[in-house]
Amino acid sequence: MSTATPQKKLRIATCSLAGCFGCHMSFLDVDEALADLIEHIEFDRSPLTDIKHVSAEGVDIGLIEGGLCNKENVEVLREFRARCTTLVAVGACAMYGGVPALRNGIPVSELVAEAYLGTDLHNPQVPCDPELPPLLNKVLPLHEVVPIDVTLAGCPPPAAAFRELILAALAQRAAVIPRTDRHFD
């Protein structure tokens, strides 16, 4: 009978804020490799599990796709920061704001009017349900609100970068991501 202690699984939380889910799709592109890794990882809050909050006891890695476009995004980010040992900004939107930040040169009131008060609409009105989170004046990258430990460059980062991040964490070493896997096109 083996007396080896089974390795503790790496706990991972993921979320998409002002992103397009492309980074999550790239993560899933790890494909068969994910089948190997799944022996060693387990998902906490994530679109993959539909768990709504990061566990209060915390997780090892938090992967965040997308920047911050509304107040709910900021709350989610702060929860990840408080409960993830290593917080990772995944992709161009999380690192710089990305495509959603193209709105930053236009006042929010003008954007909302353009989207909801168009001339051809019948009874146009701006949605005002209290459950809708207020928009921020500008779309922000994650590091402008909380400290970030690791960035994965790309739009999206390649699957190989996610795999290396996880393998490095399991081996308790720094991730080594080659330059060819750190680009934005």
Name the site residues for ligand SF4 (rule: CB under 6 A): 19-20, 22-23, 65-66, 91-93, 98-99, 155-156
Write down the least CB distance from residue 109 to ligand SF4, Å.
25
Residue 62 vs 91, nearer CB to ligand SF4 = 91
For residue 185, the 8-state DSSP code is -
Residue with tokens 């889910």: 21
- Which tokens hold the place of 133? 């989170």
State the minimum distance, in angstroms, from the CB of residue 104 to ligand SF4. 15
What are the b/e assignments for 73-85, b being 16+ CB within 10 Å?
A: bbebbebbbebbe
DSSP 181: G
Is the CB of 59 or the CB of 69 nearer to ligand SF4? 69
**Shortest approach of ligand SF4 to residue 174 CB, angstroms?**
23
Nearer to ligand SF4, 19 or 158 (CB): 19
Cβ distance to ligand SF4 smaller for residue 60 or 65: 65
Specify the length of the chain in residues: 185
- Residues in contact with 35: Cβ distance below 8 Å, sequence separation at least 6, in sequence order: none
CA angle 4, 9, 15 (to 5 degrees): 175
Least gap, CB of 85 to ligand SF4 (angstroms): 23
